[in-house]
């Protein structure tokens, strides 16, 4: 039998040791708990050309981050749901991510339609959303919890109009696809025309699955247009390029960043020659000057995507890459709760991503400027920069 004092000290030491051990264990448990991030992409359905590369890129960069040790010692857990391009599903899945999976932030959705539907949900639940869709209405007017990584259509349109103005062409024919991407572009083309002295002499549309646009192009050929601007995503613009060649339409043909991928050249074949479009820099990463801040990130992205998926890393996948990296930065700078992440996102400055250099602020949740786009032209089946 030990002395009473000894037993007491023993008890004290044991309690201290046990408490210390428990503290260590719980911190270890906390440290091991992954940070849950939700993702909504249109992997199937009419917008799968957006959702699939976005899902791939997001998964790829999260895996890389985790392999390098995670963020502040914690792994990232990416929970991806497929909206199928359907706004109703997007809302249901956003609710699932927030209430069921308890994510601290959501990246995506891929389309403007899905994003607009999800905005009321995240605003009410106060969870930050980094959308990968281009519609300008997403961040104008600014909503507290909503950010985006895709460049605004306004910037792309401005690029094209600037070039046309420089070449002293001011009568344009526009041919836009009748989905949210095309109609958003059409809105911008019309609203910015006056500022650059452009006159829209023909305003036609085509359906996303249409296979023959000779009727519209015939009309355009008969108008006084000096240039044709086509706003859509594959395969429509490829068909249009071919139809234009068939009909002998020799007007300069401008496309949107919706076709900034090698796929367009593959589909349009010879008809792609001479086509110009505003593109995110990912398309011409190798042609950029060494001083360009984005060059290293772009080349790394293209290399990794090629290695992982045996396909060309494109402009759209880049939106998701940017979203994840922006989140990573925000979490590293001190955000672990949704509110803290949101504040840190808003404070992001000078992040050189795939889509451009991001500078968020309280009044600007889109973050990109004019330099997000470069004008490229197809020459001999590959992309070149237009000076």
Partner 1 sequence: MKADKIKFLVFCLLVLLAPLPLSGGYLVNVLVFVGINSMLALGLNLLLGYAGQISLGQAAFFGLGAYGSGVLTTQFAMNPWLAMLIVAVCVAAFAFAVGFPVLRLKGHYLAMATLGVGVIAHIAFNETIDLTGGPSGLSGIPYLSIGEFIFDTDLKNYYLVWGFALVMILLSLNLVNSRVGRGLRAIHDSEVAARVMGVDARLMKVQVFALSAFISAIAGSLYCHIMTFISPTSFSFHISIELLTMVVIGGLGSVYGSVLGALLLTMLPEMLRAFEDFDIIVYGLLLVSMTIYLPGGLVRGIPMLFRHLLPKRGSHA
Partner 2 sequence: MQLLNQIMQFVISGLATGAIYALIGLSFAIIFNSTGIVNFAQGEFVMLGGVLAIFSMTALKLPIPVAILVAVTGTTVVGVVFERLAIRPLKNATPLALIIITIGASILIRGMVMLLWGKDTQVLPPFSGNMPLNFAGATLLPQHLWIFGVTLLVIAASRLFFHHTITGKAMRACSFNRRAANLVGISVGRMVLLSFAISSALGALAGVIIAPLTMTSYDVGIMLGLKGFCAAIMGGMGSGLGTVLGGLILGVLESLGAGLISSGYKDAIAFLVLLLILFIRPQGLFKKGETDRV
Residues that bind partner 1 (CB under 8 A): 43-44, 46, 81-82, 85-89, 91-92, 95-96, 98-100, 112-113, 116-117, 119-120, 124, 135, 137, 178-180, 182-184, 187, 205
Q: By CB under 8 A, name the one of 56, 83, 216, 294 that touches partner 2.
A: 216
To partner 1, the closest distance from the beta carbon of 85 in angstroms equals: 6
Applying CB under 8 A, the span of 18-26, 45-53, 136-144, 326-334 interacting with partner 2 comes to 45-53
Specify the residue, 71 or 177, whose C-beta has the smaller distance to partner 1. 177
Q: 245 contacts which partner out of partner 2, partner 1, none, CB within 5 to 8 A by kind?
A: partner 2
To partner 1, the closest distance from the beta carbon of 137 in angstroms equals: 7
What sign results for the dihedral spanned by CA atoms 362, 365, 369, 371? positive
To partner 2, the closest distance from the beta carbon of 332 in angstroms equals: 35
Q: Could you say whether residue 371 binds partner 2 (CB under 8 A)?
A: no
Q: DSSP alpha helices (H): ranges in the chain?
A: 4-32, 48-67, 87-95, 112-125, 153-166, 180-193, 214-221, 236-247, 262-268, 295-309, 315-332, 338-346
Direct distance between the N- and C-terminal alpha carbons of the chain, in angstroms, rounded to an integer: 92
How many C-alpha atoms does 55 have within 13 Å on its Cβ side?
17
Applying CB under 8 A, the span of 46-54, 89-97, 119-127, 334-342 interacting with partner 2 comes to 46-54
Q: By CB under 8 A, name the one of 73, 197, 269, 274 that touches partner 2.
A: 269
Q: Could you say whether residue 270 binds partner 2 (CB under 8 A)?
A: yes
Specify the residue, 206 or 254, whose C-beta has the smaller distance to partner 2. 206
Residues with Cβ within 8 Å of 64's Cβ and at least 6 positions away in sequence, in order, are 304
Q: By CB under 8 A, name the one of 27, 246, 306, 337 that touches partner 2.
A: 246
Asked if residues 292 and 352 have their Cβ atoms less than 8 Å apart, the reply is no
Q: Could you say whether residue 310 binds partner 2 (CB under 8 A)?
A: no
Residues with Cβ within 8 Å of 28's Cβ and at least 6 positions away in sequence, in order, are none
Q: By CB under 8 A, name the one of 18, 22, 32, 215 that touches partner 2.
A: 215
Q: 180 contacts which partner out of partner 1, partner 2, none, CB within 5 to 8 A by kind?
A: partner 1
- Give the number of other Cβ atoms within 10 Å of residue 349's Cβ: 10
Asked if residues 352 and 293 have their Cβ atoms less than 8 Å apart, the reply is yes
Q: By CB under 8 A, name the one of 44, 66, 299, 359 that touches partner 2.
A: 44
Q: By CB under 8 A, name the one of 54, 86, 114, 204 that touches partner 2.
A: 204
Q: Tell the residue number behind the tokens 């997403």, with chain if given.
A: 138
Lay out the sheet containing 129-131: strands in order across.
Answer: 76-82, 35-41, 105-107, 129-131, 146-148
Q: Could you say whether residue 23 binds partner 2 (CB under 8 A)?
A: no
Q: Could you say whether residue 184 binds partner 2 (CB under 8 A)?
A: no
Q: Containing H/E element for 356?
A: none
To partner 1, the closest distance from the beta carbon of 204 in angstroms equals: 12
Q: 214 contacts which partner out of partner 2, partner 1, none, CB within 5 to 8 A by kind?
A: partner 2
Q: Name the token pair of 44.
A: 């199937």
From residue 95, give the alpha-carbon distance in Å to each of 42, 91, 98. Answer: 16, 6, 5
How many C-alpha atoms does 305 have within 13 Å on its Cβ side?
25
Residues with Cβ within 8 Å of 353's Cβ and at least 6 positions away in sequence, in order, are 149, 294, 297, 318, 321, 322, 325, 326
* Nearest in space to 314 (alpha carbons), one of 40, 50, 132: 50
Q: Could you say whether residue 207 binds partner 2 (CB under 8 A)?
A: yes
To partner 1, the closest distance from the beta carbon of 169 in angstroms equals: 27
Q: Could you say whether residue 308 binds partner 2 (CB under 8 A)?
A: no
Using CB under 8 A, list all residues that contact partner 2. Answer: 44, 46, 48-49, 52, 178, 204-207, 209-212, 214-216, 218-219, 222, 234-235, 238-239, 242, 245-248, 263, 266-267, 269-270
């Amino acid at each position: 039998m030990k002395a009473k004092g000894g037993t007491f000290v023993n008890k004290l030491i044991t309690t201290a040791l046990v408490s210390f051990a428990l503290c260590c264990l719980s911190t270890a448990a906390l440290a091991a708990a992954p940070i849950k991030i939700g993702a909504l992409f249109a992997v199937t359905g009419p917008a799968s050309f957006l959702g699939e590369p976005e899902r791939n890129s997001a998964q790829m960069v999260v895996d890389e981050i985790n392999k390098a040790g995670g963020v502040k010692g914690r792994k990232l857990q990416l929970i991806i749901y497929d909206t199928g391009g359907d706004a109703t599903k997007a809302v249901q899945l956003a609710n699932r991510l927030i209430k069921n999976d308890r994510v601290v932030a959501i990246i995506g959705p891929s389309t403007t339609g899905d994003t607009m539907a999800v905005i009321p949900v995240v605003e009410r639940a106060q969870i930050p959303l980094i959308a990968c869709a281009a519609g300008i209405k997403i961040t104008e007017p600014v909503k507290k919890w909503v950010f985006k990584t895709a460049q605004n259509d306004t910037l792309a349109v401005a690029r094209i109009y600037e070039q046309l103005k420089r070449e002293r062409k001011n009568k344009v024919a526009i041919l836009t696809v009748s989905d949210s991407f095309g109609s958003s572009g059409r809105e911008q083309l019309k609203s910015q025309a006056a500022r650059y002295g452009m006159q829209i002499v023909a305003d036609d549309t085509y359906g996303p699955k249409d296979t023959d646009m000779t009727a519209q192009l015939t009309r355009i050929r008969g108008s006084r247009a000096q240039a044709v601007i086509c706003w859509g995503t594959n395969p429509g613009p490829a068909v249009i390029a071919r139809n234009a060649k068939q009909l002998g339409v020799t007007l300069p043909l401008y496309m949107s960043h919706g076709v900034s991928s090698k796929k367009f050249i593959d589909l349009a074949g010879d008809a792609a020659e001479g086509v110009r479009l505003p593109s995110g820099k990912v398309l011409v990463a190798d042609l950029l000057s060494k001083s360009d801040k984005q060059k290293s990130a772009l080349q790394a992205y293209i290399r990794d995507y090629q290695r992982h998926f045996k396909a060309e890393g494109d402009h759209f996948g880049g939106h998701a890459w940017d979203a994840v990296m922006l989140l990573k930065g925000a979490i590293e700078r001190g955000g672990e709760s949704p509110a803290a992440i949101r504040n840190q996102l808003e404070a992001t400055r000078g992040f050189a991503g795939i889509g451009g250099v991001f500078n968020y602020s309280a009044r600007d949740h889109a973050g990109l400027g004019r330099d997000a786009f470069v004008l490229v032209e197809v020459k001999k089946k590959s992309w070149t920069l237009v000076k």
